[in-house]
Structure 1
Amino acid sequence: MSDGFQPASIDADGARRSAMPIPRLDPESALVFVINASAGAHDVDAKRAVIESTLAAHGRRGELLICGPDDLARVATQAAAAALARGTAVVAVGGDGSLGTVAQAAHAAGCPMGVIPYGTFNYFARTHGIPTEPAAAARQLLDARPRPVQVGAINDRVFLVNASLGVYPELLQDREAYKARFGRSRWVAFVAGCATLLRAQRRLRLHIETGSTVRDVQTLTLFVGNNRLQLQQFGAEPADTLAGTPGDGCLAALMLRPIGTLSMLGLMLHGAMGRLGEAAGVESFEFTHMVVKPRLAPGRREVVVAFDGEVARMRAPIEIRVLDKPLYLLQAPDPAGTPEAGP
Structure 2
Amino acid sequence: MMAPAQPTTHMPPSPGSAAASPLFVVFNPAAGSSAEEELAPAVEAACAAAGRRCELLPVAHPRGLADAAREAVRRAHAAGGTVVAAGGDGTINGVAQQVLGSGCRFGVLPRGTFNYFARTHGIPPDLSGALRVLLAEEAMPVQVGLLNERVFLVNASLGLYPRLLEDREAWKSQLGRSRLVAFGAGIKTLLSGHRSLRLTIELQGQSRQVRTPTLFVGNNALQMEQVGLPQARAIDAGHLAGVMLKPVGRASLLALLARGAFGQLGEADQVIHFAFRRLTVTAGAFGSRHIKVATDGEVLRMPLPLRFEVAPQPLMLVRPPGLAQERREARGAGTEGEVAA
Of the three residues 190, 210, 221, the one matched with 1:217 is 210
Contact 2:19 2:137 in 1 (8 A): no
1:310 pairs with one of 292, 298, 303: 298
Match runs of 1:174-189 below 5 Å: 174-189=167-182
Given the superposition, is the C-alpha separation of residues 253 and 38 from structure 1 closer, same or farther in structure 2, using an over 3 Å criterion?
farther
Instruction: Compute the displacement of 1:44 (Å).
Output: 3.4
Q: Is the CA contact 2:13–2:78 (under 8 Å) kept in the aligned structure 1? A: no
Alpha-carbon distance in structure 2 between the residues aligned to 1:26 and 1:114? 9
Gaps of 5+ in 2: 1-11, 323-341
Asked whether the 8 Å contact 2:13–2:79 carries over to 1, the reply is no
Whichever residue aligns with residue 95 of structure 2, its letter is V
Change (3 A) 1:254 1:91: same
User: Shift in Å at residue 267 of structure 1?
Assistant: 1.6
CA 215–37 in structure 1, closer or farther in 2 if over 3 Å, else same: farther
In the TM superposition, residue 73 of structure 1 has moved relative to its aligned partner by 1.3
Preserved contact between residue 89 and residue 113 of structure 1 (Cα < 8 Å) = yes
Residue 313 of structure 1 aligns with an amino acid whose one-letter code is R
The one-letter code sitting in structure 2 at the alignment partner of 1:47 is: L
Indicate conservation of the 8 Å contact 1:40/1:95, yes or no: no
Mapped partners of 1:41, 1:192: distance in 2: 22
The answer to whether residue 88 in structure 2 is matched with residue 95 in structure 1 is: yes
Give the match's secondary structure for 2:190. Answer: helix
**1:182–1:195 distance in 2 versus 1, CA, 3 Å:** same
Please, which of 180, 185, 194 is the counterpart of residue 187 of structure 2? 194
Count of residue pairs the alignment pairs up? 310
Match of 2:263 in 1: 274
Match of 2:249 among 260, 281, 284: 260
Contact 2:120-2:222 within 8 A present in 1 as well = yes
Corresponding position of 2:78: 85
Q: Deviations over 1:281-340 (max 9, x none)?
A: 211111110000123346x61011111111111111000001121111012368xxxxxx
State the partner residue of 1:325: 313
Aligned with residue 49 of structure 2, among 46, 57, 64: 57
Q: How does 1:40-189 map to 2 (within 5 A)?
A: 41-67=33-59, 68-189=61-182
State the shift of 1:33 in Å. Answer: 0.1
In the alignment, residue 312 of structure 1 is paired with which amino acid? L
Q: Which deviations, in whole Å up to 9, do the C-alpha atoms of 1:32-76 show, x marking residues without a partner?
A: 000034658555321112212211222222101111211111211
Asked whether the equivalents of residues 13 and 80 of structure 2 are also in contact (C-alpha less than 8 Å), the reply is no
Change (3 A) 1:281 1:21: farther
Moved more, 282-291 or 138-147: 138-147
What is the alpha-carbon distance in structure 2 between the residues aligned to residue 320 and residue 221 of structure 1?
A: 15
Q: 1:288 aligns with which of 277, 294, 314?
A: 277
Q: Pairwise CA RMSD of aligned residues?
A: 2.2
CA distance in structure 1 between the aligned counterparts of 2:165 and 2:73, rounded to whole angstroms: 28
Query: How far 1:111 moved relative to its partner?
Result: 0.9
- 1:138-179 deviation per Cα after TM superposition (whole angstroms, max 9, x unaligned): 122112211111111000101111111111111111111111
Q: 1:251 to 1:43 in 2, by over 3 A?
A: same
Checking the alignment, whether the CA contact within 8 Å between 2:13 and 2:104 is kept in structure 1 is no
Query: Unmatched 5+ residue regions in structure 1?
Result: 1-19, 335-343
Contact 1:304 1:313 in 2 (8 A): yes
Cα distance change, pair 208–22 in 1 and its aligned pair in 2 (3 A): farther
Deviations 1:92-140 (A, max 9, x none): 0001111111111110322110010011111111111111111111122
CA apart distance, 1:77: 1.4
Q: TM-score, normalised by structure 2?
A: 0.85
- The structure with the greater share of residues assigned to helix is 2
Give distance in 1, aligned partners of 2:281 and 2:303.
11
Cα distance, 1:93–1:207 mapped onto 2, change above 3 Å: same
Whole-angstrom CA distance in 1 between matches of 2:280 and 2:257: 28
- Asked if 2 retains the 8 angstrom alpha-carbon contact of 1:40 and 1:119, the reply is no
Query: Cα–Cα, structure 1 residues 177 and 86, in superposed 2: closer, same or farther, change >3 Å?
Result: same
**Does residue 237 of structure 2 align to residue 245 of structure 1?**
no
Provide the residue aligned with 2:28 in structure 1.
36
Q: What letter matches 1:223 in structure 2?
A: F
SS of residue in 2 equivalent to 1:280:
coil
Give the conservation status (yes or no) of the 8 Å contact 1:174–1:196: yes
> Aligned letter for 1:127?
T
How has the CA–CA distance of structure 1 residues 141 and 27 changed in structure 2, closer, same or farther, with 3 Å as cutoff? closer
How many Å apart are 1:21 and its aligned residue? 10
Partner of 1:10: none
Distance 1:221 1:26 in 2: 40
Structure 1-normalised TM-score? Answer: 0.85
